[in-house]
Structure 1
């Protein structure tokens, strides 16, 4: 029996076990995918425990993706440049770190909006860990321009420095969220808005951005999976919207491919993911 899992804090809410185990079944593999709730101070020990226990690989989720960079033996170039690891593969006793988040987002946006990554002009709302891996992946894979909007300008500037280190010469702008005129002007020049904040996870959250600033027909990708008030408002304003389940699906499919060397059974994993999300809600 092959063993895989996900390491996070908290992690009990994860729907990844249902999705990944459906993928393993479709491939005819006998495998389990388990939850490993791990406090930050216990992360290094957890990695060693999982290696010793014979796991073939695991996912890493909030808040551990950045810390995981220093806990693997080998690291993929894109993960190193992003400073983020969400997938660990065990090979001959060594831990190899990858980031599949950017791939997941890019694939999801192509699927939802017929928007290829190469040549796209992207605006990221929020510049935390979720945005980091996605923006660096976009920069490395042909995005034409990136705009970073954040409540705290210094955080946007820090991410901009990371992006430019990975892709020197790429046009990158930072705009404070309070400068609504500049944000609106930037949105008119972009192909997609990527909502990366946690606003929308709770029913009483404020909207991350005033819908009136959004151009009609703009593609709006919200990393939160499930319909949020912001998605609803953007849709009513005439925008094309998609929630984060596509990103979750495709980053998970890529993780499975890294672990097994086989093509992910996307349809089976999508069905299981959607079922798990319906049951959770």
Structure 2
């Protein structure tokens, strides 16, 4: 039996096992995908434990993606530039690190909004780990401008520096969330707003940004799964909306392909993901 898994803290809520195991079943592969709850101070030991246990690969999720960069033997150049690893492949006992988050988001945006990455102008609301890999991937793969909006400007500037290190001269701007006039003006020049903060995980969360600032017909993507209050407000304002399940699906499919060497059975994995999300809610 092939063994795979996901490392996170916490990770009990993950729907990745249902999605990945459905993919393996669809291809007739005998495989299991397990959860590995791992505190930050135990991460290095966990990597060595899974290597020794014979796993063929695993995903890495919050809050470990940046730390995982330093725990693999080899790293894909794109993951190195993003400073983020969410997929580990074991080959001949050596750990290779990849990032599939940017691919997942780009594919989800094309699927949801018919919005190709090439030529797109993107605004990221929130600049934490979720935004990091996606924004760097976008800069490297054809986006023409990125705006980073964050409550703390210094954090946006740190991500901008990462983007510029990966793609010197790329047009990236940073704006403080409090400067609503500048944010509204920037949105009028963008094709899509990508909501990357944790606001919306709880029903009583406030909105990360007033929907009144959004141009009507703007594409609004929330990395959180489900119809968050922000997506609801954006929809009522006339925006096109999509939640984070598309990104989860497509980054997971890319991980699956790296492990298996086979095209991912996307339809089977999508069906299992949607079923797991319905059961969780």
Could you say which TM-score interval applies, normalised by the shorter chain? over 0.9
Unaligned 5+ residue runs, structure 2?
Answer: none
SS at match of 2:143: coil
Provide, for residues 192-249 of structure 1, a one-character-per-residue CA deviation record: whole Å limited to 9, x for no partner.
Answer: 0000000000011110000000000000000001111100000000000000000000
Alignment partner, residue 211 of structure 1: 211
Q: Write out per-residue CA displacement over residues 80-110 of structure 1, whole angstroms, 9 at most, x where no aligned residue.
A: 0000000000001000000000000000000
CA distance in 2, matches of 1:220, 1:78: 26
- Once the two structures are TM-superposed, the CA of residue 191 in structure 1 deviates from its matched residue by 0.2
How far did 1:169 drift? 1.3
Determine the C-alpha separation between the residues in 2 that align with 1:70 and 1:168: 24
Give the TM-score normalised by structure 1: 1.00
Deviation, structure 1 residue 139: 0.5
Gaps of 5+ in 1: none
Instruction: Render the CA deviation track for 1:230-280: whole Å, top value 9, x for unaligned.
Output: 000000000000000000000000000000000000000000000000000
Give the CA deviation at 1:132.
0.2
Offset from partner CA, 1:6-41 (integer Å, 9 cap, x none): 000000000000000000000110000000000000
Q: Distance in 2 between matches of 1:164 and 1:239?
A: 30
Corresponding residue for residue 190 of structure 1: 190
Q: Does residue 102 of the first structure (1) align with residue 102 of the second (2)?
A: yes
How much does 1:148 deviate?
A: 0.1
Distance in structure 1 (CA, Å) of the matches to 2:45 and 2:229? 40
TM-score scaled by structure 2?
A: 1.00
- Secondary structure of 1:35 counterpart: strand
Measure, in 2, the Cα distance between the counterparts of 1:183 and 1:97.
Answer: 35
Q: Give, in whole Å, the separation in 1 of the partners of 2:165 and 2:122.
A: 18
* Distance in 1 separating the partners of 2:23 and 2:103: 18
User: For residues 144 and 236 of structure 1, what CA distance do their matches in structure 2 show?
Assistant: 29
Listed one character per residue, the Cα deviations across residues 49-92 of structure 1 (whole Å, up to 9, x for unaligned) are 00000000000000000000000000001100000000000001
- Once the two structures are TM-superposed, the CA of residue 170 in structure 1 deviates from its matched residue by 1.1
Q: Aligned partners of 1:170, 1:155: CA distance in 2, in Å?
A: 18
Aligned residues: CA RMSD: 0.3
1:203 and 1:253 map into 2 onto residues whose CA distance is 29
